[in-house]
Amino acid sequence: MTPVSPPGDRDGPLDFDALYARYGATIYARCRQMLRDPSAAEDVTQEAFLRIHRALAKVRGPREALVWLFRTATNLCLNEIRAGKYRPVPVNLLPDRGGPPPESSLAAQDLVARLCRALPEPLMVAGWLYHVDGLDQSEIAEICGVSRRTIVARVSSFEEQARAFVTEAEDVRSG
């Protein structure tokens, strides 16, 4: 079996069809995970690929293309969430998967979704990627195109804002 070569290289232009064939499912899965809505995930995936198609000549290789697509799709999903189009799916409809119980993941996603409406985008992205997707700080730094130190600061600021949000919610609840 011959290994699949990446769609394009640093010296030549990327082939859009090969790029979509290789990364389309990954980006769709990412969007579906964030939005929990297959139709919205398809729309966001299509928009992310339309955007990279317009900028294809500027992208230098498949790794940069994947980072660019991942960042664009994440930002588009967060925009959907911020606009209030995010609708959580009831826990009993989610597929069974290994790891932490789905309730904790849904609770984290719900908290992040509510925070997304109030926080600046860089904090939203870092918080979502770290706390919901479980990426490490180096991976997030590469996706966001900033230093690891910047991501550490963003995650810290996000956590501070989240603690304040939870404290305020508990104060309102206890009344």
The span from the CA of 149 to the CA of 50, in Å, is 32
Domain boundaries, the chain: 13-87, 101-175
DSSP conformational letter for 57: G
- Model confidence over 65-87: pLDDT tens digits? 888 888 899 889 988 888 776 55
Q: Please tell me which residue, 10 or 174, carries the higher pLDDT value.
A: 174
- Which CATH number describes the domain made up of 101-175? 1.10.10.10
Q: Please tell me which residue, 123 or 113, carries the higher pLDDT value.
A: 123
Q: What pTM does this model have? A: 0.55
- Model confidence over 151-174: pLDDT tens digits? 999 999 988 988 887 787 677 667
Determine the 3-state secondary structure of 165 from DSSP: helix
The span from the CA of 89 to the CA of 91, in Å, is 6
Return the number of other C-beta atoms located less than 10 Å from residue 86's C-beta: 22
Distance of CA 74 to the CA centre of its chain: 3
39, 22 Cβ separation under 8 angstroms? no
Which pLDDT score is estimated for 43?
93
- Which CATH number describes the domain made up of 13-87? 1.10.1740.10
Question: Is the confidence at residue 89, as pLDDT, over 60?
Answer: no
What's the start-to-end Cα distance of the chain, in Å? 65
Which pLDDT score is estimated for 91?
45
